[in-house]
């Protein structure tokens, strides 16, 4: 049986765009992978108890593999060889999400995008243009758009919706980058034509659906004892996973059941449903603490 997939997104703001630009990124990843899913509307601000999987891209690729007829966000390279999965993940995390996107979010809300932010994105646009000058179709010369193309495109598509950003999209200065953005737009629109609209669910309905669905065996992620020792945690321990950006006010506590170089998995119990939920967190951007230590 295939795992159920719920796409949890923030409610729309009074404006015409999603208050969470990352919802655009996830929508486009789901398009690339051709994964049917349902959606749950959540608060635009923390806490968001409905969200149970934060690993997202890697988890989607693992649980909906191309070998089973789904798409991929790690396509083959045009000149042979295996996909550069590590490089694509690292570039998306440390450049697209961190350098291109994150600095601007701290400045919200905007009526107009600050000129300093635009200048920084012009520099980034020039680098994208340079990357594409050899005539490649996609940023890492893959046969199809990859996680990197999705991770960079959503930022510029989001920025384009604000006032005073026209100068950033100057075809005389970044012709290759703008043609790439056009290709991405056409590719995503074509994929959308054959993609079923997601079903909207309430948080309670989504919880029941997850509770009654099969979960991934823990040995898929495994438990790396060396990493656990370095982090000063043990398997089966109650831990609190703390996000680096929002801190301990929005931490999550549960029993540590799996751990490797990429992710943590903890169990939490919903007493009202008498069900166990497994929450996946990326290693990057989150820190584990013994639950008792966190309370101190």
Q: How confident is the model at residue 127 (pLDDT cuts 50, 70, 90)?
A: very high
Q: What backbone torsions phi and psi does residue 195 show, to the nearest 5 degrees?
A: -110, 130
Q: How far apart are CA 252 and CA 291, in angstroms?
A: 10
CB neighbour list of residue 105: distance below 8 Å, 6 or more residues apart? none
* 123 vs 108: which has the higher pLDDT: 123
Sign of CA dihedral 141, 183, 111, 27: negative
pLDDT computed for residue 58 by the predictor = 82
Say if residues 221 and 263 touch (Cβ distance below 8 Å): yes
Say if residues 130 and 178 touch (Cβ distance below 8 Å): no
Please check the confidence at residue 278 and state whether its pLDDT lies above 60.
yes
pLDDT computed for residue 288 by the predictor = 93
Say if residues 254 and 189 touch (Cβ distance below 8 Å): no
* Domains along the sequence of the chain with CATH: 5-199 (1.20.1050.130), 217-290 (3.40.30.110)
pLDDT in tens, 27-73: 888 888 888 777 766 555 445 454 544 456 788 888 888 999 999 99
pLDDT computed for residue 34 by the predictor = 84
């Amino acid at each position: 049986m295939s795992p159920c997939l719920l796409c949890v997104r923030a409610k729309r703001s009074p404006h015409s765009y999603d208050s969470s630009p990352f919802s655009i990124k996830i929508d486009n990843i789901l398009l690339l992978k051709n994964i049917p899913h349902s959606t749950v509307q959540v608060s635009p601000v923390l806490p968001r108890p409905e969200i149970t999987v934060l690993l997202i891209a890697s988890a989607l690729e693992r649980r909906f593999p191309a070998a089973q007829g789904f798409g991929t966000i790690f396509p083959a390279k045009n000149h042979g060889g295996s996909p550069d999965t590590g490089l694509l993940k690292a570039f998306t995390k440390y450049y697209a999400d961190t350098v291109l996107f994150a600095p601007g979010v701290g400045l919200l809300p905007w009526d107009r995008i600050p000129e300093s932010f635009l200048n920084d994105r012009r520099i980034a646009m020039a680098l994208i243009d340079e990357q594409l000058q050899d005539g490649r179709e996609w940023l890492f010369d893959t046969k199809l758009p990859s996680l990197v193309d999705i991770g960079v495109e959503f930022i510029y598509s989001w920025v384009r919706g604000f006032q005073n950003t026209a100068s950033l999209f100057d075809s005389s200065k970044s012709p290759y980058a703008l043609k790439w953005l056009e290709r991405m737009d056409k590719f995503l629109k074509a994929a959308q034509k054959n993609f079923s609209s997601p079903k909207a669910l309430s948080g309670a309905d989504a919880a029941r659906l997850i509770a009654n669905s099969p979960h991934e065996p823990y040995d898929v992620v495994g438990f790396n004892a060396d990493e656990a020792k370095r982090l000063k945690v043990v398997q089966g321990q109650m831990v609190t996973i703390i996000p680096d950006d929002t801190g301990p006010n929005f931490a999550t506590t549960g029993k540590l059941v799996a751990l490797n170089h990429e992710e943590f998995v903890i169990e939490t119990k919903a007493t009202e449903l008498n069900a166990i939920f497994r929450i996946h967190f990326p290693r990057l951007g989150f820190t584990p603490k013994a639950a008792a230590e966190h309370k101190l």
